Amino acid sequence: MSTLGTSPTALLSPGAVRSAVLPVVRQRVCALEPTLARICSYHLGFTDEHGDPSGAASGKLTRAGLMTAVAQGAGLAPEDVRTQAAALELLHNSTLIHDDIIDADDLRRGRPAAWKVFGAGLAILAGDALQALAVQMVVDDPGPGRAEISSAFTEALRLVLAGQSRELTVRLGPDAGIAQYERIVEEKTSALLQCALVTPALRAGKPEHVLTALRGAGRHLGLAFQISNDVEDIWGDPAVTGKPVRGDIGRRNPSFPVLAAFPVSERLRELWHADDAADAHLAEMAGLVEECGGRDEAERRSRGHLESALEHLGRAGLSPAATAELTALFDRIVNRTA
């Protein structure tokens, strides 16, 4: 395996992760069919809507950062999983393109979503192209554990698609339990985080108990993140989230705080079923959710899942430096800390 002079114990900064992964992402995307390459480059922040270079944000590369830290904690160099880290970021971004269309979200990272600029049809194809490209990258990579890593990626993609389908067909309402919500989150969100954490361990040939610990960490990290994200959707700052506030409530997409508050408030259930998306209507619903304890319960549950994620991480036997880095990264993911 290549080291290129990088010590496995010298953890990469977020800037170094971006420097290592983004050129691979850009190169692979630019090789797509020109129209699809233009749409994907726009979505990723490389270009503006005219195809000219742009300084827009390309995302936080969270999954690439997780994969790199685990790799170094498992005795690998960052270069050993650079292709897989880039592929996972492409896979993640494919889900963002599709989610924006499904949810009719106009904005992504503070500017018009790809489907608003290029149309839903072409944006769907662009998301599909990123999925195919991501799978091709891991299948074609000749390094150790290729078959197992390819299987992990295709399983993650299968779960994401299942979660997206379930979210549209299983209507989470006043009578739905938290269990259905958690299943959707585990498929849509946790699956890619588990893939990020497990891939380096597969490349390093780690035993099953390490894989199990990392899968558990990814599962709980996804739940902690999504529940925290649900809180942000209702009470967060659009300048931080890059999206308008209360989007989920406006679409009647029940997030964790809403589900937690449903059994307490008949008035909330009445407002939920009313065909009204006016600001005052949404503000009243948000107020009832908080008054009925939905926000407090969501924040408590998110903290609990984060603690569980860290417990599983501790069982993975990674180097102390990598474990400390991942602990901090888990916190940043869930709580958006600096």
| Higher-pLDDT residue of 242, 154 | 154
88 touches 195 (CB < 8 A): yes
| Higher-pLDDT residue of 198, 275 | 198
Whether this prediction's pTM lies above 0.95 is answered by no
Q: What percent of the chain has pLDDT over 90?
A: 80
| C-alpha–C-alpha distance, residues 86 and 128, integer Å | 16
Q: How confident is the model at residue 23 (pLDDT cuts 50, 70, 90)?
A: very high
What pLDDT sits at residue 177? 77
Q: What tokens does 142 get?
A: 């000749």
Q: How confident is the model at residue 338 (pLDDT cuts 50, 70, 90)?
A: low
Q: Is the pLDDT reported for residue 76 higher than 80?
A: yes
Q: How confident is the model at residue 4 (pLDDT cuts 50, 70, 90)?
A: very low
| C-alpha–C-alpha distance, residues 104 and 296, integer Å | 29
Q: What tokens does 192 get?
A: 């890619």
330 touches 306 (CB < 8 A): yes
62-83 mean pLDDT: 97
Q: How confident is the model at residue 204 (pLDDT cuts 50, 70, 90)?
A: very high
Ordered by where they begin, the domains of the chain are 14-335 (1.10.600.10)
Tokens 């990392």 found at: 214
Q: Per-residue pLDDT tens for 147-174?
A: 999 999 999 999 999 999 998 887 666 5
Q: Is the pLDDT reported for residue 35 higher than 70?
A: yes
| Higher-pLDDT residue of 73, 337 | 73
**Measuring CA to CA, which residue among 257, 265, 263, 264 is closest to residue 294?**
257
Please name the helix (run of DSSP H) or strand (run of DSSP E) that holds residue 75, with its range, or none: none
What pLDDT sits at residue 170? 74
What pLDDT sits at residue 10? 58
Q: What tokens does 211 get?
A: 């894989």
